[in-house]
Chains A and B, each alone.
Chain A
Amino acid sequence: MFKRSEQDKRPQLQIFVDGVAVAARQGDTVSAALLASGCDARRSTAVSGAPRLPYCMMGVCFDCLVTIDGVGNRQGCLVPVAEGMQIEIQKGKREIGR
């Protein structure tokens, strides 16, 4: 859906999406890295289970909700990636304690 411009010279780092290593760039937000990665990053909603991807990328729509390092329902578009970060695509309601 998206590709990186060749002029992007930012250092690469590695994150894990549902356990699979994925390349990201320093300065990416989690949502941008997911959309750039080509992996299926669709979450499913807590209401009907409908699939969603980020819509606004500026912190207002909450369609980018994702589990980051074990914490559920985080706004992926506001969190910058970090080396070794563990991302899980959220399906349905968040589990308590996660």
Chain B
Amino acid sequence: MSKAFSSEVGAGSREENASRQKSDYDVAVVGGGLLGSAIAWGLGRLGKKVAVLDEGDITKRASRANFALVWVQSKGLGMPAYTVWTVQASQAWSRLASELKQQTGLDVCLQQNGGFHLTLGDDEFGQRTDLVKRMHNQAGAADYKMEMLSASDVKKSLPLIGPEVSGGSYCPLDGHVNSLRTFRAFHTGFRAFGIDYFPERPVSAISKSGGEFRLTTPKGELRAAKIVLAAGNANQTLAPMVGLFAPMGPTRGQIVVTERTMPFLPHPLTTIRQTDEGTVMIGDSKEDELDDRALKHSISAVMTDRAQRMFPHLSRLNVIRSWAGIRVMPQDGFPIYDQSETHPGAFVACCHSGVTLASNHAFEIARMVAQGALEPELVGAFSASRFGGAGAANDSGY
């Protein structure tokens, strides 16, 4: 694979030079969610002429449904490169937040003072302890700083926990952000960078001729020298059009959110976080369902019941809304970043953690796409070649 990566560098640059005059855009990004927006914004930041093609108001949008964690702990069990990639993203997030603030005036409220995964009862504590051990035994664990804490130690940071909390894991790198405002900041930033955002243009076909890509949408064809497929689970159908492979295994997740309340939760948890606005988000389920209109209240009940056992004070808050979203999820749970050998200049990017990895997408992936080739030392492990043509599902430890 590394051979393919390096041979693309030169080809990519020539391609770009040759097509600049005739193509409408240097790069067309297919997908205007958090992942596509971060890459597009990053490309615009590098002075590229970028178009973003997006769907309309009603579509499966993980960017509107996510839980907004910037999360490190437990990511990458089974793939050390993912741990490294995640840690790097977490460290680059403050730069992303400050650049967005400077450019758009929007504060995305990044908070990275460490996060918890709380356990209820001894069994859960034992399971979590095992997981932390397995993480530590894996390469790259030095960066990780994840540790198990007793209930009394947790209480020092989270004084309102209830008696059923048996402890939890803590990682100082963890944090959260206002993901909707991040989304808005990227889109606001598009204008400053001269990026053209085209909603209501789902891409139905992609071809390459005369050294450029032609993307078919209901509102006409768009031409670009390079393309980045960032269409979430829809990458599975788009990728083969340009010789790429993106096997996806989406799942449904439900989230419940309360009314605004005074700040009470100084750290985010894997399943509970208080937003800067004051609402409390409670997540999240993992279901083999793909209808995001329907909700299972019994699942919300499990989530909220666990939340009130962790923080008994929550029980009196009003639940204002709940929703289901479809996770963007590569089949083995790890990100896919790849470039086409048959269609040079075509890239695919999809991952579950579009919030956590936004900084890497804006800075690293955008840089590599601009250069014309992915760098194997950074993202080689995420090539879809790992699926060997037919992805086998397993769990990423998410």
Contacts and interface: CB of A to CB of B under 8 A. Distances in A.
The answer to whether A and B touch in the complex, with CB atoms under 8 Å apart, is yes
B318 A93 contact: no
Interface string B299-321: 00000000000000110111000
A95 interface: yes
A58 B278 CA distance: 26
B259 interface: yes
Contacts of B278: 46, 93
Interface string A41-55: 000001100000000
A93 B316 contact: no
Contact of A95 (B261, B314, B318): B261
Contacts of B160: 96
A96 B314 CA distance: 7
For chain A, give the interface size range: 10 to 19
Interface of B is mostly: loop
Interface string B151-178: 0000000001000000000000000000
B264 A96 contact: yes
A9 to B, nearest CB: 36
B259 A73 contact: yes
Contacts of A98: 316
B260 interface: yes
B313 A73 contact: no
B142 interface: no
Nearest to A65: B259
A19 interface: no
For chain B, give the interface size range: 10 to 19
B262 A96 contact: yes
A93 B274 CA distance: 13
B313 A94 contact: no
A95 B316 contact: no
Contacts of B318: 73
B41 to A, nearest CB: 28
Task: With a 10 A CB-CB cut-off, give which of A71, A72, A73, A96 has the most chain B CB atoms.
Answer: A96
Given A46-B278, A71-B316, A73-B318, A95 B259 contact: no
A11 interface: no
Interface string B70-93: 000000000000000000000000
25 contacts: A46-B259, A46-B260, A46-B278, A47-B277, A71-B316, A72-B316, A73-B259, A73-B318, A92-B262, A93-B260, A93-B261, A93-B262, A93-B278, A94-B259, A94-B260, A94-B261, A94-B262, A94-B317, A96-B160, A96-B261, A96-B262, A96-B264, A96-B317, A97-B313, A97-B316
Q: Which 5 A-B pairs have the closest CB atoms?
A: A97-B313, A46-B260, A96-B264, A96-B313, A93-B260
